[in-house]
Chains A and B, each alone.
Chain A
Amino acid sequence: MILTYMEIRDSKIKKASLEALSEAKRRADDLNVKCGAVLIGEGLKALTEDVFKYGASQAFLIENPSLGFYGPSLYATILSDLAAEVSPRALFFSATAMGKDLAPRVAAKLGVGIATDCTQTSVSDRQLEVVRPIFAGKAFASFRFSSEPQIASLRPNVFPLLDPVSEQGEVIRKEAEVSPDQAQDQVVEVIKGEGAEIDVTEADIVVAGGRGMKEPDNFSLLKEIIALLPNAALGSSRSAVDAGWVDHQHQVGQTGKTVSPNLYIAVGISGAIQHLAGMSSSKYIVAINKDPDAGIFKVADFGVVGDLFDVVPALKKELEIFKE
């Protein structure tokens, strides 16, 4: 079996988890093994429909009122116990904040290897092989595993969802023994950001500003563009963050986040090597910069040489016309 951990936020399964499950199903088919999903928390039964839609034939539910909030020590114990019981060939996570926090703890408890933030998986000689960026994408490393379960976390927004099927699967309930000492690091509150912000790692479109934005208030220009585009998020270069213009959670690059959206629009970003590393794997890249020699144009599919303070408002108008 390949088992995929399904992350639940706001009583829903995260899209990134369904992507990981879809990829697990493809690899499970290659290996001719079952595809299973595991859910931890409360009110799980309602969520099983989704996992059967996206490839799972078995759903393991570990339900307990004390599991409503995430805690790495507790969740890792539950997952490693389950893995010891069902002996999956592989265990997949999505490389979200939770996945990156949880998967290594499970791996260490099981004493097995893990590959973080993979962007490709394949099977050859009945062995899983994964590819993952290192140095924020300045190089790519392929790995095989010399231990089982083979654990991998998969980068959000990279793996396509399966076409949903209306299949029913088997629901398997497991009891979790929750002892207080395992609740040694539990979330007590989720603090929402202002508005329904989309994270750069999960957005289909990233509109990012750099030093060329000149001052923090000018980022409102980009936010107006973001409002006109579907599932778009605000990104930024390191210099804009270091200048205090935007919060570091928006930073894309080697000391920020590595992103692979469908579209990356770089506005007033020169394209330092550490920034390019973090966004070059975007499907389409658009650059707006007044310096025709800016490094960002070397990776741009569509470059506009011009003053962003003219081009961005004009782009807003054109998008509004297009929408009508």
Chain B
Amino acid sequence: MNILVFVKRVPDSESKIKIDHDKNQIDKHGLNFVMNPYDEYAMEEALQIKEAQGGTVQAISVGPEESMATLKKALAMGADEALLIKDDAEETYDGLRQATIIAQAVKEKFSDYDLLLFGKQSIDTDNSQVPTMVAALLGLPQVNVVTKLEIEEGSGTAVREIEGAAEKVQFSLPAVISAQKGLNEPRYETLKGIMAAKRKEVPVISLEDIGIENASLKPKLKLVKLAPPPTKQAGKKIEEEAEEAARQLVEFLHQEAKII
């Protein structure tokens, strides 16, 4: 099994998000960046498949130079190779732009692959678009939000999460799979892995190297405005005996919130 895993550098989930209104962008100062948490599940799954069935795992990232740290983590976890496709554009929130770059890179740089693994969404844009769009652009089958994956020769079966149930999906290979929490327990990097990853050369290629002119990537979405969430005022806070507190709470639910 030859597996391509796509990893993205994102601010960690504890980050406070501030807006740079002049640039109409998220203010990146002081943010701690990590590998997108869902991509860790994708990485782990790739490594487990390789360990069971042989093959290679290649980690690929599209983004600024700093994404090298994310690729080094992937190498430290156990990826055989890594590739950085350098793209310094500000975030456009347009999934099709990102997917176009990835699909083109796959066409240009990789010929022999069985699986393309992604996280089910990146926790910055929350688009949940790129894996599906890459599948569409390459004409490949897709299964998203996967919590269970079985790969055989030429085909696979996946279980994906839906509302209050799950869907079992059969698909042919090569395929695009996006990982959900619960698929596995991502491993920690070992010290040995980290040292080996440090020494490993990671090729950096540009959009031009894969035959894309930046001008052709004009976003299909126009970001009009970024705004902080509406501020929520703290309401009533009571400290009473349990019975009295419960009575007041039910009164609130009935009379004010009108929910019961």
Contact surface of A with B, Cβ cutoff 8 Å = 9, 70-73, 76, 96-98, 100-101, 104-105, 107-109, 111-117, 129, 132-147, 184-193, 196-199, 201-202, 204-205, 229-230, 241, 247-249, 251, 253-256, 258, 262-263, 272-274, 280-281, 283-286, 292, 297-307, 310-311, 313-315, 317-319, 322
18 CB contacts below 8 A, A to B, read A107-B129, A132-B126, A142-B226, A184-B171, A184-B172, A185-B143, A190-B165, A193-B166, A199-B163, A241-B181, A249-B182, A258-B126, A262-B259, A298-B232, A301-B236, A301-B252, A302-B237, A304-B239
Whether B164 pairs with A197 at a CB distance below 8 angstroms is: yes
- The residues of B that contact A251 with a CB separation of less than 8 Å are 181
Contact B127 A116 (CB under 8 A): yes
Interchain CB contact under 8 A, A97 and B238: no
Residues of B within 8 A of A310 (CB): 242
* Contacting pair A280 B129 (CB below 8 A): no
Complex CA gap A141/B21 in Å reads 12
Contact present for B165 and A146 (CB under 8 Å): no
Shortest 9 CB-CB distances between A and B: which pairs?
A: A113-B220, A185-B141, A108-B136, A314-B246, A199-B163, A310-B242, A301-B235, A97-B162, A303-B237
Contact of A304 among B19, B230, B245 (CB under 8 A): B245
Q: A254–B226 contact, CB under 8 A?
A: no
- Which residues of the other chain, A, contact B159 by a CB distance below 8 angstroms? 191
CA–CA, A259 and B129, complex, Å: 19
| Chain A neighbourhood of B150, CB < 8 A | none
**When each residue 143-161 of chain B gets 1 if its CB lies under 8 Å from chain A and 0 otherwise, what string results?**
1110000000000000111
Does more than half of chain A's interface fall in helix, strand or loop, or is it mixed?
A: mixed
Kindly report which residue of chain A lies nearest to residue B144, judged by CB atoms: A101
Chain A CB within 10 Å — which of B127, B142, B222, B242 has the most? B242
Chain A residues with CB below 8 A from B52, complex form: none
Residue among B95, B232, B242 making CB contact with A114, cutoff 8 Å: B95
Cα–Cα distance between A317 and B244 once the two chains are bound (Å): 12
- A115–B99 CA distance with the chains assembled, in angstroms: 14
Q: Give the nearest-CB partner of A281 in chain B.
A: B229
- Which residues of chain B come closer than 8 Å to A283, judged between CB atoms? 257
Partner of B245, one of A101, A285, A306: A306
In residues 207-222 of chain B, which contact A (Cβ within 8 Å)? 218-222
Instruction: Answer whether residue B53 sits at the interface, using C-beta atoms and an 8 A cutoff.
Output: no
Q: Look across to chain A and name the residue whose beta carbon is closest to the beta carbon of B24.
A: A141
A262 touches B245 (CB 8 A): no
Q: In the complex, A78→B105 CA distance in Å?
A: 28
Query: Do A108 and B132 have beta carbons less than 8 Å apart?
Result: yes
Given contacts A72-B142, A310-B242, contact A104 B260 (CB under 8 A): no
A311 touches B221 (CB 8 A): no
Whether A104 contacts B128 in the complex (CB less than 8 A), given A97-B145, A144-B224, A185-B143, comes out as yes
CB closest residue in chain B, given A242: B181
Cβ of A186 to closest chain B Cβ, rounded Å: 6
**How does the 8 Å CB contact mask read for B87-98 relative to A, with 1 for contact and 0 for none?**
000000111100
Which residue on A lies nearest to B227, using beta carbons? Answer: A140
CB distance from A302 to the nearest CB of B (A): 5
Closest to B257 in A: A284
Do A115 and B221 touch (CB < 8 A)? yes
